[in-house]
Amino acid sequence: MVAVMPWEHTGSKIAAQHRERLAVVYVRQSTRQQVVGHQESTRLQYALVDRAVALGWEACRVVLIDDDLGKSGSSAEHRVGFQRLVAEISLGHVGLVLGTEMSRLARSGKDWYQLLELCALGGSLLADADGVYDPTEYNDRLVRHEVLCDRVEVKRLHRQAVAAA
């Protein structure tokens, strides 16, 4: 059984117009080594299908995109799954995009903001382990931006530390 957070119950950001469209679970890990060595992460990402159902989507309306397993999120180039996700959002087919962390969707600011804008224009919501976000709401955009910036900053600091060692 998948837990539904209190703010995700009836009266939440999720409306009938979202549930009429697809829920898309995007699964990605950066390298083949991570896919093999971190199977729990992979399992948790696949379990987001159950979370979509718990949030009110029929199982047949949940699409799993896992084409990018073993591919870096540093750019959308060569990520067929991400490109498919962007296309489905652009066509208005997606009501909810789920990922264990929003930073899994895109590590580059360019790709992230393209995705965020398309979701806002198309009325698609984003969801991760912490909640459901509406990219048309300023506070939701700000929270997701801070998370992405924090992760980018941590990566930069890590690279500096490794280079200094």
Structure tokens at 78: 């060569």
| Active-site position among 12, 30, 75, 108 | 30
Say whether 124 is catalytic. no
Cβ 51 vs Cβ 2: under 8 Å: yes
Structure tokens at 82: 């991400």
Count other Cβ atoms within 10 Å, centred on residue 162.
8
Structure tokens at 90: 């652009």
Residue (of 69, 25, 17) closest to 51 by Cα position: 25
Report, as residue numbers or ranges, the catalytic residues: 30
